[in-house]
Every structure is written in C-alpha cells, then in structure tokens.
Amino acid sequence: MEQVQAIVLLALAILLLAVLMRMHGRLEAFPDFDGKPGERSVHRVAIPLRIAVAMVSMLVLLRTAEAAQESRAALVLGLSLLPVFAYATAYCWQFRAVLRGHDLTLMTPAFRTRDYDLTRLTEVHDDLPGACLLRFQGGQTAWLVKYLSGQSTLSRAIDEARPYY
C-alpha cells in the first residue's frame, strides 16, 4: 500500500507538470515589434536559477515520496507541496520580460502578459531579495525578477526612462 501511495504522488507530479507544459503552449504570444532589431530585447530568468529551482523541487518531492511510504502525514504534505513546487518551477522557466523602447512587457504570476510604460515609472524598490518592485503613475505595480539574462540592459532602460522617479 505504501508503494502505491508514493507512485500515485509521483504520477500526480508528472501529470501536473504535463498540464503546466500544455498551458505554456497556449500562452498568449508576446506582441511582435516592427521596429529596428536592436530596439527589442527579451530577458528570461538566468539558467543557473532555473536549474536550481527545478532540482530543489525535484529533490523535495522525491524525499516526500519516500517518506510517504511510511507516513500518511508525509503523503498529505507531499500532495500539498506538489502544486507549490510545480508552480514555482513553471513560473521560473516561463518568466519573460520584453523591452521595446520605453515599453516593458512582463509575465504576471497568472502566466499572462502585461504592458508598462517606463516613462510613467515613479518608484523602484530594488532592495527586495530576488525581486524588484516597480511603481507607476496611476497606481500600477510590477514585480521584476532580479536574476535575468541581460539584466544590465534592463537596469539601464529603467534608469534612463524615469522622469518622475
């Protein structure tokens, strides 16, 4: 019976990963940019961070699956941790920030895209661990992952496009 529980937990992990991958295939595409090629840059989470998140998620779920063979509490813990780690891994692998001139398109935590005008930027909080909070006129806020490819390009664009900041 214990082995069946561990196998079911791993099967659910695989199923959830498959569902998240299918969701990625249906994500709305970032709008095309018809400007000059150098005016558009796509920034993704750095590869080492992506791999680290995936490995930690896998190790925690495997250890929980092993413990689930002996304890029902570990099974419940594993089932509750499964969507959390699956979401964190999927978000880390799918996050994108696209910079086009003074427009910044970010992926939200709901896996949708949202556009921001950097000329309306009023405040930047970059003292948070792993993220940067951007506040815009009109009350809009955006969370930007700090560990992105091309972070210097993005930081320069934020520094240059802040008339109210």
Write out the two tokens for 139: 């009350």
- How far is 93 from 46, CA to CA, in rounded Å? 9
Which of 55, 46, 54 shows the shortest CA–CA distance to 150? 46
pLDDT, tens digit only, all 165 positions of the chain = 556 666 776 777 777 766 666 665 555 444 444 444 457 888 999 888 888 888 888 888 888 888 888 888 888 888 888 889 889 888 888 889 999 888 999 998 888 899 999 888 888 888 888 888 899 988 899 988 888 988 888 888 888 876 555
Q: Which residue carries 């019976």 as its tokens? A: 1
What DSSP state is assigned to residue 112? Answer: -
- Say which residues have a Cβ less than 8 Å from residue 161's Cβ, sequence separation at least 6: 102, 118, 119, 121
pTM, rounded to two decimals? 0.70
- How far is 157 from 99, CA to CA, in rounded Å? 8
**What integer pLDDT is reported at residue 30 of this predicted model?**
47
